[in-house]
Structure 1
Amino acid sequence: MKHELKCWPEHFRDVVQPNKYKRKMVEIRKDDRTYNVGDVLILKEFNPKTETFTGSWAGVRVSHCLRGGPWVPEGYVAMSIHLEDFEFSE
């Protein structure tokens, strides 16, 4: 399954960080789309101040899903993500 999601600039930059040891590798979202291992997330950079997309996006694959307490609030999912398909345009 493929999901297109808004991603604020500061979080987007952390996902696409060239240094793999400093990358953001967890995405926490409301679990309203029934995310699963193997899903692809298309993270589209979105500026909340201007309420516009920047045109930049990153494709990541979900490798693990964690639901439920005590670590994840009810109705949310923490997903391990791995940058898979990357294209960056400014």
Structure 2
Amino acid sequence: MNHDLKIWPTYYQAIIDEIKKFEIRKNDRCFSVGDILILHEYDSAKKLYTGRCCYVRVDYVLSDFLALEKNYVAMSITLIN
């Protein structure tokens, strides 16, 4: 399944640079291994999309972990070139 999501520029660039290999999100979409996240860079100060986006694949989903807030997941992701 594909999911269109907003992402702030700092986090977007870290994914593009392949430094950030995880994403933490509210699990309001039932994220699963194999899902594709379409991350649209969003400037919250200007309240607009920058026009840049990237695709990442969900490789692992961690849920119901004590350190995570209820209904949140940590996902291991891989940038798709």
Question: Fold match, TM over 0.5?
Answer: yes
Partner of 1:43: 39
Partner of 1:80: 76
1:74 CA displacement: 1.2
**Equivalent position to 1:61, from 57, 72, 76:** 57
1:71 CA displacement: 2.8
Structure 1 stretches of 4+ with a deviation exceeding 4 A read none
Partner of 1:31: 27
TM-score (norm 2): 0.95
Instruction: Name structure 2 gaps, 5 residues minimum.
Output: none
Identity of aligned residues (%): 41
Instruction: Name structure 1 gaps, 5 residues minimum.
Output: 86-90
TM-score (norm 1): 0.86
